[in-house]
Structure 1
Amino acid sequence: MDMIVTPTGKLQGDIQALSSKNYTTRYLLVAALAEGTSTIRFPAHSEDSDALRRCIRDLGAVIEEDDEKIVVTGFGRHPFHAKELNVGNAGAVLRFLMSVAALLPEVTFVNTYPQSLGKRPHDDLISALQSMGVEVEHQNGRLPITIRGGRPRGGKIQVSGSVSSQFLSSLLFLAPLLEEDSEIEVLNDLKSKVVVGQTLEVLEQAGIVVHASDDLMRYRVPGRQQYRAQTYTVQGDYPGSAAVLAAAAVTDSDVTVRRLLENSKQGERAVVDVLRSMNVPLTHEDGIVRVQGNGKLTAGEFDGDEFTDGVLAMVAAAVFAEGTSRFYNVENLRYKECDRITDYLAELRKAGANVEEKRDEIIVHGRPEGVEGGVEIDAHFDHRVIMALTVVGLRAKRPIRIKDAHHVAKSYPNYFEHLQALGAQVEWVK
């Protein structure tokens, strides 16, 4: 399904932020790794979280759910021997479960999205697992991947963090269940440290002890631990809300988004500060962000590694800012569902934006007068690209058509319904 986005001058209304995908997937995983029954309140419903639900069920977890909660009876350190696991297009789910799969004699992760997840590399995690005595069969670091484990070893473990922090998080979920104590050292660089903070927060809530260095590059993890079954409450999601806030910023608006905690460990919380620094009129208090946009923004320079999943939405806002904006330290965007630098900027140019790229930077020469639009855009099956291009379409002079926009369901299934509730002119077409 494609989406026609028609220029919309005014947005107004009050919505609840969707629940956090990142926290939902982590809570589902620790609930599965616990022996006993856990409850997850206000879980996210998206393709990613649904993929993890499906996979942990295949591994032996018992799941019951209603409109407000999921109840999970976990399998602990003894997952059921599933022959195959299908994670769909969910990279984080794949990487988290690759380590869990090391507890099994053999399991194959199939490749159902060869043009997206199938292109993404996982070599750094594969190398770490192999050093732990796990046999991994793979296609140059890509899917399909077969894990042959059974008894992974702890001890000294090294993993690169230069491509993704998900590899480290994956090992942190596994290490507490091993017989030996583990020392994990991160090599090179560590991208998205704030997301590692979310993993550590969830592990602590699950009763797991991890000793992390201040710079998050070294970890001591005692073995023979048990995950504690308990109740978790999922907070509102900043990465998805970033696009809604950007849409409000570039239009004449009075938009309120609720359930966005000021003290959240989500790095994308920084998008509120980014918009504020671009002189967008907004307030943030008591978990409520209110944007009273006037469409006037000023350019700025921002470290994108602090809010990785909010960068594309902020770039979309910067398209209409006065001056030149620079988003640096963003190379890891190249290793997502698509190359979120080259591919995304190519589509922005089609719509009339003046943007340029470097290896680890996005540079936006703002056009406060707006962009032409009137084009068909390829979102490369990427939910973040879809959401961000919608922001541009709202401020374009002519409608844009976003191909395969239904892939927004990967993280935010009701994104367009929320925009419609705020007054945006968006329409599904076949």
Structure 2
Amino acid sequence: MDMIVTPTGRLQGEIQALSSKNYTTRYLLVAALAEGTSTIMYPAHSEDSDALRRCIRDLGAVVEEDDEKIVITGFGRHPFPAKELNVGNAGAVLRFLMAVAALLPEVTFVNVYPDSLGKRPHDDLITALQSMGVEVEHRSGRLPITIRGGKPRGGKIQVSGSVSSQYLSALLFLTPLLEEDSEIVVLNDLKSKVVIGQTLEVLAQAGIAIEASEDLLHYRIPGRQRYKAQTYVVQGDYPGSAAILAAAAVTDSDVTVHRLLEDSKQGERAVVDVLKAMGVPLTHENGIVRVKGNGKLVAGEFDGDEFTDGVLAIVAAAVFAEGTSRFYNVENLRYKECDRITDYLAELRKAGANVEEKQDEIIVRGRPDGVEGGVEIDAHIDHRVIMALTVVGLRSKRPIRIKDAHHVAKSYPNYFDHLKALGAQVEWAE
């Protein structure tokens, strides 16, 4: 379904931030890898977390849930030998489960999104798993992928961090269960280090001991560990909230978002500081962010690797800033559901934005008077692109139509409901 976004002068109201997708998927995984019964309070409900629920059930976990919680009885180090797993369009879920699948004799990850996840590379994780004695059958690093494992070896493991931190996270979930102690060395630097901080935080909560170097490039992991079954509480989600905060920033607004912890390890927490640096009037106290926007922003230069999943929303805000903004260190955006640099900027240009790309940079020459709009835009089946383009539509001179906007459900199913509750003029169109 398509979404019609009509220019909206004012946003006002209060919402509860949705629960964090990143923390939900990690808690689901560690609960499945435990041998007792764990409870996850306030889990995210999205296509990604639903994909992981489905897959851990297929691997033998017992999953029961109600409106507030999920109760999981895990399979520990002995997952059920499923023949096929369908992760939908969830890249992180695929990569985490590729590592878990190394404990199985054979499982195939099917390709149901050939034009999105099916195009994304996984070579670096494949190479690491092969070095551990796991046989991997693949199509030039892409789905469908068959894992033939059973007895992966620990020891010294190398993995590249230049494309994604998810490969490292996958190995960190697997190696504590192995018979041998392991040492993981990250090659070629590491993208999205803040997300590794989330992985290490969740592993520690699950009772797993890991020694990490200060630069997060070297790890020592004792083998023969057991995940501890317990209760986890999911915090509010900064990546999804980034688009709500950006929408408030580019309009006349008084918008309050609850459940955004000041001390969160989510890298996208930085969007609050970035918007402040762009001159947006806001406060952040007691887990509450309040934006009293006036539509006036100033340009700036920002390291996008610090808030990867919030970059597109802030780029959308920068479209209306005074001056030229630069987002650097963002090449890893090219390896997401779509090329979030080339594909996204092409759609911004259709709407009238003045944007330029380099291999690892996005440059935005702001237009404080707004952009023309009045176009149909292709969001490339990418939830982050859909949310960010909506921000642009709210400040365009004419409505924009976002194709296939229902794919926002991958991470934020009620995104448009939340915007409507704040007064945004957004309507579904067949």
Same fold (TM over 0.5): yes
* 2:69 equivalent in structure 1: 69
Residue 155, structure 1, aligned to residue 137, structure 2: no
* 2:298 equivalent in structure 1: 298
* 1:56 equivalent in structure 2: 56
Supply the AA of the counterpart residue of 1:415. Answer: Y
* 1:124 equivalent in structure 2: 124
Deviation string 1:317-360 (CA, Å, 9 cap, x unpaired) is 00000000000000000000000000000000000000000000
Supply the AA of the counterpart residue of 2:230. Answer: Q
* 2:209 equivalent in structure 1: 209
Q: TM-score, normalised by structure 2?
A: 1.00
Residue 385, structure 1, aligned to residue 382, structure 2: no
Root-mean-square deviation (CA), in Å? Answer: 0.2
* 2:254 equivalent in structure 1: 254
Partners in 1 of 2:426 and 2:14 — Cα distance? 18
SS at 2:89 equivalent: coil
* 2:337 equivalent in structure 1: 337
- Residue correspondence of structure 1 range 152-231 to structure 2 within 5 A: 152-231=152-231
* 1:138 equivalent in structure 2: 138
Deviation string 1:189-244 (CA, Å, 9 cap, x unpaired) is 10000000000000000000000000000000000000000000000000000000
Residue 309, structure 1, aligned to residue 312, structure 2: no
SS at 1:294 equivalent: coil
Supply the AA of the counterpart residue of 1:389. Answer: L
* 1:82 equivalent in structure 2: 82
* 1:275 equivalent in structure 2: 275
User: Matched residue pairs, number?
Assistant: 430
Residue 353, structure 1, aligned to residue 389, structure 2: no
SS at 1:243 equivalent: helix
CA deviation after TM superposition for structure 1 residue 368, in Å: 0.1
Partners in 1 of 2:162 and 2:138 — Cα distance? 20
Partners in 2 of 1:60 and 1:285 — Cα distance? 42
Partners in 1 of 2:183 and 2:189 — Cα distance? 17
CA deviation after TM superposition for structure 1 residue 131, in Å: 0.1
SS at 1:297 equivalent: coil
Partners in 2 of 1:262 and 1:189 — Cα distance? 28
Supply the AA of the counterpart residue of 1:103. Answer: L
SS at 1:152 equivalent: coil
Unaligned residue ranges in structure 1 (runs of 5+): none
* 2:4 equivalent in structure 1: 4
CA deviation after TM superposition for structure 1 residue 256, in Å: 0.0
SS at 2:127 equivalent: helix
Residue 235, structure 1, aligned to residue 268, structure 2: no
Partners in 2 of 1:413 and 1:382 — Cα distance? 13
* 1:91 equivalent in structure 2: 91
* 2:425 equivalent in structure 1: 425
Partners in 2 of 1:12 and 1:279 — Cα distance? 19
Supply the AA of the counterpart residue of 1:249. Answer: A
* Structure 1 residue ranges, 4+ long, deviating more than 6 angstroms after superposition: none
SS at 1:313 equivalent: helix
Partners in 2 of 1:132 and 1:261 — Cα distance? 38
Deviation string 1:6-56 (CA, Å, 9 cap, x unpaired) is 000000000000000000000000000000000000000000000000000
Partners in 1 of 2:191 and 2:170 — Cα distance? 14
CA deviation after TM superposition for structure 1 residue 369, in Å: 0.2
* 1:36 equivalent in structure 2: 36
CA deviation after TM superposition for structure 1 residue 187, in Å: 0.3
* 1:366 equivalent in structure 2: 366
Partners in 2 of 1:19 and 1:383 — Cα distance? 16
Partners in 1 of 2:376 and 2:188 — Cα distance? 40
Unaligned residue ranges in structure 2 (runs of 5+): none
SS at 2:103 equivalent: coil
Partners in 1 of 2:429 and 2:277 — Cα distance? 37
Partners in 1 of 2:75 and 2:243 — Cα distance? 37
Supply the AA of the counterpart residue of 1:126. Answer: I
Supply the AA of the counterpart residue of 2:155. Answer: G
